[in-house]
Structure 1
Amino acid sequence: MASAKMEGPSAPAVRRDPYEVLSVSRDSSDQEIKSAYRKLALKYHPDKNASNPEASELFKEVAYSYSILSDPEKRRHYDTAGFEALEHDAMDMEIDLSNLGTVNTVFAALFSKLGVPIKTSVSATVLEEALNGTVTVRPLPLGTSFSGKVEKQSAHFFGVTINEEQAQSGIVVRVSSLAQSKFKLLYFEQEPNGGYGLALQEDSEKTGKATSAGMYFLHFQVYRMDSAMNTLAMAKDPEAAFFKRLEGLQPCEVCELKPGTHIFAVYGDNFFKPASYTIEAMCAKTYEDTTQKLKEIEVQILAKRNDLRQFETEYRKALALFQEVTNKYSLEKQAVDELLKERDQIHSSFTTTRSLINSSGSGSSSKTHIDDLRIDSQSDDGSLDWKEKSNKKKWFGINLSRSDKKL
């Protein structure tokens, strides 16, 4: 049986500079990094290099480098302090299901149902067919929709043609599935050779009783949410999950489209069955109020993310102080309880029965008898002891007998 362990983009034995691996400069844009990764991933993909084991290692190195540079937070950490600043255990890999094998696919499906965040990549076959321009493209006019089923690890391609006015207004492309299928929405750019290169991808997310994904080309910065980041943060520290919730907010690389035909695709990301979906393309001109509201919300959410970063520091300090004073409270309470208990014991020791309790044992009866005599023999003024009283009784008896003899 094949191993069911699925590892992330593990660090190579000798780690090279990610910028060097991808052949990009340190000031390269996200789109330049993505483009470089796409070309190298296709070049070294195991499916295309079955007889070359070195290609597999190069593919892992490329994936590892891209996992750093494609994440703004990880890239910032690396630029600041190198590999030492990275949390390797938090890195997750995009898995190509077409190359997993049956056993690992079963385990991947199980982990996904259990809520374990597993990112999957578009299969090399689909990407290669797109680059070669051998895919079938269905027209999808603005204001229309199309419903269908796409096989797992396969894609349906659509062409959305827009004019100058529509391009200026902006467009929205959305895909939804009432069957809650798992899929990806892909956007391809035209390559010089006539093929299509993958530029954007959105994974479907569960929203209510459906799954959906959308792309918004509205001439202002729109953000996508990587929910896997929050899931990983919650697994490591549930309390920190709230503060990391907006860290999954990533800027979309493309915010506007030029007039012409643009290629989108729905990729079946299910593990075992086809994905049911409905794709629709819309011009934002008929949604001006909604578009403006989205713009305002995006700005507010971005500001809130910065606020949470600052608030987390304050919260951590306050929490540490709270734990400190809580511990002190417990210690002080224990000390007070012990002092009061000891005080009550001392108060209880003041009692007339103390001598009886302490004198129990041998010789106790004689001592008790003497004490009783001392108490009984005391006169009102306390001047006589028991011996004097005893003598007086004896003297009185003698006097009486003498009187009797004279009489």
Structure 2
Amino acid sequence: MEGTSAPATRRDPYEVLCVAKDSTDQEIKTAYRKLALKYHPDKNSSNPEASERFKEVAFSYSILSDPEKRRQYDTSGFEAVEDSMDMEIDLSNLGTVNTMFAALFSKLGVPIKTTISANVLEEALNGTVTVRPLPIGTSVSGKVEKQCAHFFGVTINNEQAEAGIVVRATSAAQSKFKLLHFEQDVSGGYGLALQEDSEKTGKVTSAGMYFLHFQVYRMDSTVNALSIAKDPESAFFKRLEGLEPCEVSELKAGTHIFAVYGDNFFKTASYTIEAICAKSFEDTTEKLKAIEAQILTKRNELRLFETEYRKALARYQEVTNRYSEEKQCVEELLKQRDSIHSTFTLTKAPNTPNSIAVTLSNGSSSNVPGDPESPSEDGNPDKSSKKKWFNLNLKGSDKKLG
């Protein structure tokens, strides 16, 4: 699969995107969009160099668009960010076999980022897309083909803009899709401003955008996916690291463009999109604001706790190893002790069932004197002792019986 893996010879991301080091997030985003459209594989199928440039542009943007990765790169270069780079693939540039593998990995729960088709972005930028109305307080259902998009216009007044707007899309069929938000471009078209990948929540997949006048965060499940794979235990500590601030927190009065993009690998995506004014959900809005603050606090706490946990875990492993060693040593000493004890015992000598042998401490044995089967001084059995047992006066007994 072709993705945003780092090129063999890596250039400075600022140089690749043709921006200054003090550029704003919006300037970086604008530069990326122009270069991504210019070098997108959909538009350069016969130019392999353009494909490489596209990957280089996407790789650079993945660093500079993330505040933390940008800070790490500015401080320590590529080595500080290469372990946490996300994989992003363009479905339109994959062969059938690779698409099947990508679909399989996605089905198994492996987070895979996908790009939006250049055709969709270019049509939006040219203003040639069909926009359907989506009034506040209503919902629309539909099915969108893979790598295609359905566009909707949400018109809000000053009161609604001041209260805040929520746009959500869900799929009861658990389809994979993207929710997109476009801003009006100076040329009259629409430029991509936000995108949210659908996530499975319960029995549905969903994506939402919240313009509520306070900072709202998105959860990116692909962040640190590689480092988590290397150290599964870090999945807990890194889970909240995928929390990223949304670039837009409020909308002004007017018409705003949203779209549902079909991100399934082989089939259409079923969806329902709705636009809501937050004025009817004041309690819910306050709960969201509070929980966002709690999650941020918890993320900072976990960063500190991870260091403490790692030290304790190392100490635990040290003492458990010591425990195993001490246990083995004690068992060996007791085994030797039992072996020594077993030498102090009386046992029967082999092949002489009537003899009583004394086992000495040196391991030798000696027959007890007086044993009927004990040898005489010359080494032969004592014949006289046998007469005592077998030389009976049978004749005398016969006369008495007669």
TM-score range, shorter chain: 0.7 to 0.9
Q: Which residue of 1 aligns with 2:60?
A: 65
Q: Between the two proteins, what is the percent identity of the paired residues? A: 80
TM-aligned CA deviation for residue 29 of structure 1: 3.4
* Match among 249, 253, 260 for residue 255 of structure 1: 249
Instruction: Assess if the C-alpha contact under 8 Å between 1:8 and 1:92 holds in 2.
Output: no
Greater mean alpha carbon deviation, residues 107-116 or residues 324-333: 107-116
Greater mean alpha carbon deviation, residues 41-50 or residues 201-210: 41-50
TM-aligned CA deviation for residue 279 of structure 1: 0.6
TM-aligned CA deviation for residue 97 of structure 1: 1.3
TM-aligned CA deviation for residue 65 of structure 1: 0.7
CA RMSD of aligned residues (A): 2.2
> 1: distance between equivalents of 2:363 and 2:47?
95
TM-aligned CA deviation for residue 325 of structure 1: 0.5
- What TM-score results when the alignment is normalised by the length of structure 1? 0.83
Q: Which residue of 1 aligns with 2:157?
A: 163
Matched, 1:37 2:37: no
CA 1:12–1:358: 2 relative to 1, 3 Å: closer
Q: Which residue of 1 aligns with 2:9?
A: 14
Residues 336-380 of structure 1 deviation map (CA, whole Å, 9 limit, x = unaligned): 2222232333344345733398335xxx67xx65999xxxxxxxx
Matched, 1:291 2:296: no
> 1: distance between equivalents of 2:165 and 2:307?
40
Q: Which residue of 2 aligns with 1:128?
A: 122
Greater mean alpha carbon deviation, residues 146-155 or residues 121-130: 146-155
> 2: distance between equivalents of 1:215 and 1:31?
19
TM-aligned CA deviation for residue 9 of structure 1: 1.7
TM-aligned CA deviation for residue 224 of structure 1: 0.4
Structure 2, unpaired ranges of 5+: 347-357, 373-402
> 1: distance between equivalents of 2:150 and 2:21?
36
TM-aligned CA deviation for residue 53 of structure 1: 3.4
CA 1:8–1:51: 2 relative to 1, 3 Å: closer
Bigger CA radius of gyration: 1
> 2: distance between equivalents of 1:43 and 1:226?
27
Q: Which residue of 2 aligns with 1:141?
A: 135
What are the equivalent positions in structure 2 for 1:145-224 lying under 5 Å apart?
145-224=139-218
Residues 251-285 of structure 1 deviation map (CA, whole Å, 9 limit, x = unaligned): 10100111111100011111121111111001111
TM-aligned CA deviation for residue 232 of structure 1: 4.1
Instruction: Assess if the C-alpha contact under 8 Å between 1:141 and 1:281 holds in 2.
Output: yes
Greater mean alpha carbon deviation, residues 68-77 or residues 273-282: 68-77
> 2: distance between equivalents of 1:101 and 1:178?
29
What's the secondary structure of 2:271's corresponding residue?
strand
TM-aligned CA deviation for residue 238 of structure 1: 1.7
Instruction: Assess if the C-alpha contact under 8 Å between 2:4 and 2:55 holds in 1.
Output: yes
- What TM-score results when the alignment is normalised by the length of structure 2? 0.84
Instruction: Assess if the C-alpha contact under 8 Å between 1:216 and 1:222 holds in 2.
Output: yes
- Structure with bigger helix share is 1
What are the equivalent positions in structure 2 for 1:213-292 lying under 5 Å apart?
213-229=207-223, 231-292=225-286
Matched, 1:53 2:70: no
Greater mean alpha carbon deviation, residues 63-72 or residues 181-190: 63-72
Residues 171-219 of structure 1 deviation map (CA, whole Å, 9 limit, x = unaligned): 0000011111111100001000000000100011111111110000001
Instruction: Assess if the C-alpha contact under 8 Å between 1:132 and 1:195 holds in 2.
Output: yes
> 2: distance between equivalents of 1:349 and 1:116?
64
> 1: distance between equivalents of 2:345 and 2:146?
89
Structure 1 letter corresponding to 2:18: S
Structure 1 letter corresponding to 2:278: A
Structure 2 letter corresponding to 1:26: K
Residues 106-130 of structure 1 deviation map (CA, whole Å, 9 limit, x = unaligned): 2222221122221111100000000
What are the equivalent positions in structure 2 for 1:70-89 lying under 5 Å apart?
70-88=65-83
What's the secondary structure of 2:55's corresponding residue?
helix
Structure 1 letter corresponding to 2:185: E
